[in-house]
Amino acid sequence: MEHKGTQHLETERLILRRFTLEDAEAMYENWANDDEVTKFISWHTHQNIDVTRSVLGDWVSHYPDDDFYQWAIVPKEGDGRPVGSIGAVKVFDKISAVQIGYCIGRKWWHRGITSEALKALIVFFFDEVGVERIEAIHDTRNPNSGGVMEKCGMKHEGTLRRAFKGNSGIGDVKIYSILKSDL
Domain-located, residue 98:
yes
pLDDT digits (tens, 9 = 90+) for 29-86: 999 999 999 999 999 999 999 999 999 999 999 999 999 999 999 999 989 999 999 9
Instruction: For residue 45, give the CATH number of its domain.
Output: 3.40.630.30
Q: Which amino acid is at 14?
A: L
pTM, two decimals, is 0.97
pLDDT digits (tens, 9 = 90+) for 121-137: 999 999 999 999 999 99
The domain of 147 spans 9-182
Strand bridging mode 133-139 / 97-104: parallel
Sheet holding 169-179, edge to edge: 9-10, 14-17, 70-75, 84-92, 97-104, 133-139, 169-179, 155-166
Domain-located, residue 66:
yes
Domain-located, residue 4:
no
